[in-house]
């Protein structure tokens, strides 16, 4: 009887971890929501391959191309940290 000692295909495959964030609707009046989101991204995003951001990340409208509202700064830094760790961020 022959026994195949090669590892099974499943043992050789790496599972890709993708996080999907949708419609966070972060508000200037809710800094705790920003803190919770950044905590989640730091905890769960560190081991991810990809983060997909869908829908409205912020719950307000602005049209200034060269300005980041104060609410966006900590979120931008969290996303930037993930990119620097090698996580692909898709918006």
Asked if the model's pLDDT at residue 1 lies above 50, the reply is no
| Adjacent-strand bridge partners of 50 | 18, 88
CA 26 to chain centre: 15
What is the pLDDT at residue 60? 72
Kindly report the pTM of this predicted structure. 0.76
Q: What is the pLDDT of residues 65-84, one digit of tens each?
A: 666 678 888 999 999 999 99
Asked if the model's pLDDT at residue 32 lies above 80, the reply is yes
CA-wise closest residue to 76 among 37, 49, 46: 37
Q: How confident is the model at residue 50 (pLDDT cuts 50, 70, 90)?
A: very high
Q: What is the DSSP string of 27-58?
A: -TT-HHHHHHHHHHHHHHHTT-SEEEEES-SB
What is the pLDDT at residue 13? 83
């Amino acid at each position: 009887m022959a026994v195949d000692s090669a590892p099974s295909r499943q043992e050789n495959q790496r599972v890709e971890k993708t996080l999907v964030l949708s419609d966070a609707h972060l508000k200037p009046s809710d800094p705790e929501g920003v803190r919770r989101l950044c905590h989640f991204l730091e905890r769960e995003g560190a081991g991810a391959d990809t983060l997909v951001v869908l829908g409205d990340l912020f719950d307000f409208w602005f049209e200034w191309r060269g300005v980041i509202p104060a609410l966006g700064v900590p979120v931008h830094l969290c996303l930037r940290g993930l990119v620097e760790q090698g996580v692909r961020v898709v918006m």
